[in-house]
């Protein structure tokens, strides 16, 4: 049996298949369920400094190849979230807190107010004014925010990057300069859908972020480029719904993968992906480390 366990971005994981931020990460019980279903670690929904209701509905629309969401970062504030992390920890795997803020001070405030095993900095949500990609598209912001959080906590810090830029590698390098333990690529692609009968945008916020199979080739390309350019690990996310998708992401250079939209099909996805990866490694006679980035090597 091939081993999937190992270190990823400062955490030791039983396998590299993680629950992505935002999906089923609102409550401790759903995070715990993902952990018990086989996730290597679980990432919470993003939490910020103050409670937010999020955008008016509809907040999700199904389109060809995926979903567009414009949730608008609804959350109860970090001040009301620690008990969800504590409950999630009963799942027996590391709990990564996804956090957002409007700059270095707010990010540091949120991080130092939570006890989590790792922080994932949401510098990439494409539909929240003053947050996410509005600040995370600028390398100097990414570097300053990463450094501020690193100074305020003593657990690993991951930075989730936006693909809605011309050069994602410059953002990855900024996160690395700021001291990130890993970068996570990619968040959703800015997108919209229009109802042809009403002639109006479907989402309450008009635009949102596209996730699901449609964005997988974009994510693969970003992971390929980032892992070639960075020393810190890259965690791949975007459209992974099978072990083949996970293997493709690892071949591109990912040290771990996150599963989001595919959770719509149920928690069994974690077991399916890890079992498929194990069989694939045995069939190929490779270790996970040998698989990683193999697509980048010249023949
Ligand atoms: C949300 O909670 O609004 C989505 C988060 C994201 O796109 O990063």
Domains and CATH numbers, the chain: 6-297 (3.20.20.70)
Mean pLDDT of 59-83: 97
What separation in Å is there between the alpha carbon of 295 and the centre of ligand 1? Answer: 31
> 237 in ligand 1 pocket by Cβ < 6 Å?
no
Mean pLDDT of 186-202: 98
The answer to whether 228 touches 89, Cβ cutoff 8 Å, is: no
The 10s digit of each residue's pLDDT in 204-229 is 999 999 999 999 999 999 999 999 99
271/251 Cα distance (integer angstroms): 20
> 163 in ligand 1 pocket by Cβ < 6 Å?
no
141/164 Cα distance (integer angstroms): 16
pLDDT interval class at 299 (50, 70, 90): low
24/263 Cα distance (integer angstroms): 8
pLDDT interval class at 43 (50, 70, 90): very high
Question: What pTM was computed for the model?
Answer: 0.97
Residue 96 in this model has a pLDDT that exceeds 90: yes
The residue whose CA is least distant from atom 1 of ligand 1 is 73
> 188 in ligand 1 pocket by Cβ < 6 Å?
yes
């Amino acid at each position: 049996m091939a081993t999937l366990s190992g270190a990823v971005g400062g955490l030791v994981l039983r396998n590299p298949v993680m629950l992505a931020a935002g999906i089923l990460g609102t409550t401790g019980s759903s995070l715990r369920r993902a952990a018990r279903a086989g996730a290597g670690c679980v990432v919470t929904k993003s939490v910020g400094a103050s409670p937010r209701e999020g955008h008016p509905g509809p907040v999700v629309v199904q389109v060809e190849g995926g979903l567009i969401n414009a949730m608008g970062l609804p959350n109860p504030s970090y001040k009301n979230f620690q008990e969800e992390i504590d409950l999630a920890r009963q799942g027996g795997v590391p709990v990564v807190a996804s956090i957002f803020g409007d700059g270095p001070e707010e990010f540091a405030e949120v991080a130092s107010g939570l006890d989590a095993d790792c922080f994932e900095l949401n510098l990439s949500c494409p539909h929240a004014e003053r947050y996410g990609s509005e600040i995370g598209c600028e390398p100097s912001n990414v570097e300053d925010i990463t450094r501020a959080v690193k100074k305020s906590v003593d657990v690993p810090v991951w930075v989730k990057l936006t693909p809605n830029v011309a050069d994602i590698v410059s953002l990855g390098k900024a996160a690395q300069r700021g001291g990130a333990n890993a970068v996570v690529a990619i968040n959703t692609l800015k997108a919209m859908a229009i109802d042809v009968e009403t002639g109006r945008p479907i989402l309450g916020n008009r635009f949102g972020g596209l996730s699901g199979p449609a964005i997988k080739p974009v994510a693969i390309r970003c992971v390929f480029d980032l892992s070639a350019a960075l020393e810190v690990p890259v965690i791949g996310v975007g459209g992974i719904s099978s072990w083949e998708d996970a293997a493709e992401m690892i071949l591109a250079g990912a040290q771990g993968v996150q599963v989001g939209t595919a959770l719509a099909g149920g928690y069994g996805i974690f077991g399916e992906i890890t079992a498929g990866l194990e069989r694939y490694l045995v069939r190929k006679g490779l270790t996970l480390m040998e698989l990683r980035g193999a697509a980048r090597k010249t023949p």
